[in-house]
Amino acid sequence: MKLPTREEPALTVGEVCKALGLGRKIIDNAINSGRLKAYCVSRGKRKRKFIVLPEDLRAFLKSCQYTPSGRSLGQIEKTGALGGDLITSTSMN
């Protein structure tokens, strides 16, 4: 395990939630499923405290990159599935 440095300190689960704009339940599920690696730093009576290393967070985010399957963006725009009318340069005349 690589120890946190001053340049890249470890993040608490709350800080990860805030940085990603996600709820605590989503991050907890990712930790429990093993997709996001977290380290337990205290074992309190009621609550355990976890930290996430920046390199583990980067690996998690890389694994979560969305790649559309099936239809390409061009096909979605043609069908109007994005909602609203698309303005093209020819329709502005």
Q: How many helices (H) and strands (E) does the chain have?
A: 4, 3
Backbone angles phi, psi at 15, to 5 degrees: -65, -35
Count the neighbouring beta carbons within 10 Å of the beta carbon of residue 52: 23
Mean pLDDT value of segment 22-27: 92
Task: Identify the band that residue 9 occupies on the pLDDT scale cut at 50, 70 and 90.
Answer: confident
Strand pairing partners for 42?
49
pLDDT value of position 45 = 74
User: Strand runs (DSSP E) across the chain, as ranges?
Assistant: 11-12, 39-43, 48-52
Tokens at residue 12, please?
A: 């608490």
Q: What is the pTM of this model?
A: 0.61
Dihedral (Cα; 10, 12, 18, 20), 10-degree rounding: 60
